[in-house]
Amino acid sequence: MKTSVSEIIEIGILGDERGNLSVIESFIHIPFDIKRVFYIYSTKENVHRGFHAHYKTRQALISVSGSCKVFLDNTIRTDEVLLDAPNKVLILEPNDWHEMYDFSEDCVLLVLASELYDSKDYIRDYNKFLEVYSKKTQEV
């Protein structure tokens, strides 16, 4: 179990006279196999989303358009990450409680996930999150 909160990966920009292209491949650019993709967009002003951690799911967050902020808490450290470039990838481990906010109007937040959707994999209660992870995170 890692104790550092935010792992940010800068992926390459393949640019030419036509514009840019960036690529993310499982186990090459991010440390897991991608089983699910979803994206958050047209987010209304002042909306905060997330407020959960997971038991198993690992995720990679990319603001492919616009920007947003992500607050992270792994019971030992908290952090705030600004996602403001389409080649900036934030890796979230299962024990990263996360909240997303300050979405720009044009923000498209792309999320790559290591597991299929399963509501049982969510920890939405912060006290439950502390119960599950505070001891484990400190043991390592």
Assigned token pair, 76: 């030992």
Q: Is 36 in the site for ligand TYD (CB under 6 A)?
A: yes
Helices and strands counted in the chain (H then E): 1, 12
Nearest residue to 6 (alpha-carbon basis) of 86, 60, 65, 68: 60
Catalytic residue annotation: 52
Select from 38, 56, 78, 105 the one that contacts ligand TYD (CB under 6 A). 38
Nearer to ligand TYD, 11 or 53 (CB): 53
Q: How many residues bind ligand TYD (CB under 6 A)?
A: 7
Nearer to ligand TYD, 13 or 47 (CB): 47
Select from 4, 12, 78, 117 the one that contacts ligand TYD (CB under 6 A). 117
Q: What are the distances in angstroms from CA 78 to CA 31, 33, 45, 136?
A: 22, 26, 24, 16
